[in-house]
Amino acid sequence: MDDLREALLGWYARERRDLPWRGTTDPYAILVSEVMLQQTQVARVVPRYLDWIDRWPSAAALAAASRAEVLAAWVGLGYNRRALALHAAAQVVAARGWPADLRTLPGVGPYTAAAVASFAFGASVLAVDVNVRRVLSRRGLEVAEPSPQLNQALMELGATVCTARAPRCDVCPLAEGCEGPGGAAPRGRARARFEDTDRFVRGRVVAALAEGSSLPDVAPERLERALDGLERDGLIERSEGQLRLPGDALR
């Protein structure tokens, strides 16, 4: 593994993307980046991350914001429950500091806890996201001594070279001795258009309330299903036929 580690870290030093969260060890900033990056492309996250940190530079600053403000700032990043979980985590940190077990924070699972522990606190833990899992599986690797730099390198390799559907094996620093992706990716079922999903309607409702615009023009049953789900998840409030984001003025 030593030779592979050296090859991977050398590749990472040359090829790494210049991402803003890689220049800090602030656990709050790293947590924000990890939550934003869940199922959202890096290119979309970078400007939103910079705006977020500029507006709320600390856990205490975010904790003092209203849930309505947080949801409005999150519009377009998807999965709005992540915003409320991040807000709740900031409130815990602002009140009691960073817990020894980061998984006790709202919305923080094993991967996110490992990533924050590694990148912010220098812990020797392996942060295994879907990209890292793919690299380790294809190469048949076990990591005995993880480090922040190694975690970043594995993530970068999985995100940019050892990809799921079009791996660039010709430029991979771990290509020698690798059996590769094991054939073409299997075809999945045809996916419904995003615009036809409940998640699309939910997102448009939150955006409309944040912007003060009209609710999405969709079938009444789709809209009602979205409103029911949003209310159940604490993302909107309803009273006598009026809607609002949590803590916002009724409309």
Residue range 150-170: average pLDDT?
95
21 and 63 within one domain: yes
Q: What is the DSSP letter of 195?
A: G
In a domain, 228, yes or no: yes
Candidate from 131-135, 140-144, 188-192, 212-216 with smallest mean pLDDT: 188-192
Domain that holds residue 199: 194-244
Rg (CA), the chain: 21
- Does 211 score more than 70 pLDDT? yes
Q: What is the pLDDT of residue 221?
A: 83
134 and 74 within one domain: yes
Residues with Cβ within 8 Å of residue 125, at least 6 apart in sequence: 114, 117, 118, 146
In a domain, 180, yes or no: no
Taking the alpha carbons of 240, 244, 245, 246 in that order, is the dihedral positive or negative? Answer: negative
133 and 20 within one domain: yes
Domain count, the chain: 2
The residue that leads in pLDDT, 183 or 194, is 194
pLDDT in tens, 56-92: 999 999 999 999 999 999 998 988 999 999 999 999 9
162 and 90 within one domain: yes
**34 included as an active-site residue:** yes
Say which CATH number the domain at 87 has.
Answer: 1.10.340.30
Instruction: Locate 28 and state its tokens.
Output: 């709050």
163 and 225 within one domain: no
In a domain, 10, yes or no: yes
37 and 155 within one domain: yes
In a domain, 203, yes or no: yes
- Does 189 score more than 80 pLDDT? no
What CA–CA distance (Å, rounded) separates 125 from 147? 7
Choose the catalytic residue: 34, 69, 156, 237. 34
Residue range 220-239: average pLDDT?
85
38 and 101 within one domain: yes
In a domain, 138, yes or no: yes
What CA–CA distance (Å, rounded) separates 126 from 148? 8
Candidate from 34-48, 108-122, 222-236 with smallest mean pLDDT: 222-236
> What is the chain's mean pLDDT, rounded?
90
Annotate 72-105 with b (16+ C-beta within 10 A) or e (fewer). bbbbebbebebbbbbbbbbbbbbeeebeeebeeb
In a domain, 182, yes or no: no
Instruction: Locate 100 and state its tokens.
Output: 């020894």
- Ramachandran assignment for 177, one of left (phi > 0), alpha (psi -120 to 50 degrees), beta (any other): left
In a domain, 189, yes or no: no
- Does 250 score more than 90 pLDDT? no
216 and 165 within one domain: no
- Dihedrals phi, psi of 244, to nearest 5 degrees: -160, 160
- Does 55 score more than 70 pLDDT? yes
Size of the chain, expressed as the number of residues it contains: 251
223 and 150 within one domain: no
47 and 158 within one domain: yes
In a domain, 186, yes or no: no
126 and 67 within one domain: yes
Q: What is the pLDDT of residue 215?
A: 87
- Does 216 score more than 80 pLDDT? yes
